[in-house]
Amino acid sequence: QTIRIDGKAIAQEIKDEIKAEVELLLEHGLRAPHLTVLLVGSDPASVVYVRNKAKAAEYTGITCEVLRLPESVSERAVLREINFLNSLPDVDGILVQLPLPPQINKRTICDAVRPDRDVDGFNVLNVGRFCVDQEAFMPATPSGVLEIMKRLKIETFGKNAVVCGRSKNVGMPIAMHLHSNGNATTTICHRNTPQEELVKFTRAADIIVTATGVPGLITSDMVSEGVIVIDVGITRMLSDQGQARLVGDVDYAGVSKKASMITPVPGGVGPVTVAMVIKNTLIAYKNTLQKNSLSDQFKK
Ligand code: NAD
């Protein structure tokens, strides 16, 4: 019996847990955590992602403000905005929605966000801390993948894991976690992995996490019976009737016949990713609260 992993239900569980915590904070007379999202331009996918994050925040009681800047905005103006947000005492999480227009250097912007407010985990300090097993914010998508594994009690210790995709925000942190904290023997495959090699690795895998944006990359002949498959890929495709639909990297119909657990697209990793941004905002808030109460104690 194949388990179809219900990302929406997992996301709902996470949001309900956050909501309960926020209610408790308010009952104690504290303010609600706050997330500010910076959206540059009006890329349609980014607009949808930002709307979903704002909706999720609102559901939990976390306040969320979306600051929109024009597509033509200069890097200096974005930096000025980030520095201002960094200085506001009531902002807990700052998220810059990617991609950014070409006149703006993504790395400069990501590194300008205060690491303790960097709820998307893109600041180089968070990336580095995570790589050396220190406490850090991890980007929402890999956090979502790990949260799914944790909640479904997917055993990784000693297993063979294959991660397809090595991007710094998605594939790399997932592989990093699986081999270190997860103690899995982890193989990273990427665009230069020859197809015949990819097949060898995926057939030997107990767990496959794929994040490439290549529809149909993983087919049923490439996997073993009982494999666990997490599909992070999202590609917008047009049907013959001209309707847009989202597809993952996995041929779901075929692979789900052999898999023991599998995430669908849509409704798998995506909703959990959104919930993790909100969870990180609550964590940032609680870290500040703890820091402030420690410094109060010190003053006494
Ligand atoms: P990216 O373009 O930065 O990276 C793609 C990776 O896939 C690269 O490392 C590349 O080497 C690898 N790749 C390409 N062709 C391959 C092949 N034939 N075999 C093996 N590897 C191959 O993209 P990204 O930002 O890492 O995102 C990956 C996918 O995940 C995209 O489809 C994106 O839309 C999706 N995504 C989903 C979520 C979510 O919430 N579910 C969030 C972020 C990204």
Residue 86: other Cβ atoms inside 10 A: 14
- C-alpha of residue 36 to centroid of ligand 1, in Å: 26
Based on the residue annotation, tell me whether 97 is a catalytic residue of this protein.
Answer: yes
Residue 288 lies in a domain: no
Same domain, 144 and 260: yes
Pocket test for ligand 1, best of 170, 219, 230 (most atoms within 8 A of CB): 170
Residue 278 lies in a domain: no
CA distances to 15, 59, 148, 150, 271 from 8, rounded to whole Å, are 10, 14, 11, 16, 6
What pLDDT does residue 49 have? 95
What pLDDT does residue 13 have? 98
In this structure, which amino acid lies at residue 145?
V
Tokens of 19: 């909501």
CA dihedral 122, 39, 292, 32 (to 10 degrees): -130
Residue 51 lies in a domain: yes
- Segments in the chain below pLDDT 70: 298, 300
**Which of 15, 92, 97, 116 does the annotation list as catalytic?**
97
Residue 179 lies in a domain: yes
Find how far residue 261's CA is from the centre of its chain: 20
Contact 284/93 with Cβ under 8 angstroms? yes
Based on the residue annotation, tell me whether 53 is a catalytic residue of this protein.
Answer: yes
**Which of 118, 120, 231, 251 does the annotation list as catalytic?**
120
Same domain, 48 and 163: no
d(CA 251, CA 258): 12
Q: Tell me, using a 6 A CB cutoff, whether residue 248 lines ligand 1.
A: no
33 prior amide bond cis, ω within 30: no
- How many residues in total does the chain contain? 300
What pLDDT does residue 265 have? 98
The residue whose CA is least distant from atom 1 of ligand 1 is 167
The residue whose CA is least distant from atom 32 of ligand 1 is 213
Number of H helices, E strands in the chain: 10, 11
Residue 297 lies in a domain: no
Angle subtended at Cα 155 by Cα 150 and Cα 158, rounded to the nearest 5 degrees: 135
Tokens of 5: 């992993």
pTM passes above 0.80: yes
The residue whose CA is least distant from atom 43 of ligand 1 is 141
User: What ipTM was reported for this prediction?
Assistant: 0.98
Residue 271 φ/ψ, nearest 5 degrees: -60, -35
Same domain, 111 and 149: no
> What per-residue string of b and e applies to 32-48 under the rule 16 or more CB within 10 Å gives b?
bbbbbbbbbbebeebee
- Nearest by Cα to 57 from 87, 10, 22, 25: 22
Tokens of 101: 């227009």
Based on the residue annotation, tell me whether 1 is a catalytic residue of this protein.
Answer: no
Look up the domain containing 196 and give its range: 140-269
- C-alpha of residue 298 to centroid of ligand 1, in Å: 47
Q: Tell me, using a 6 A CB cutoff, whether residue 98 lines ligand 1.
A: no
What pLDDT does residue 300 have? 64
Contact 117/287 with Cβ under 8 angstroms? no
Same domain, 96 and 215: no
**Which of 15, 53, 92, 231 does the annotation list as catalytic?**
53
What pLDDT does residue 239 have? 85
Same domain, 152 and 109: no
Number of domains within the chain = 2
What pLDDT does residue 294 have? 73
Q: Note the pLDDT tens digit of each residue in 266-286.
A: 999 999 999 999 999 999 999
What pLDDT does residue 293 have? 81
Query: Which residue carries 């409704």 as its tokens?
Result: 267
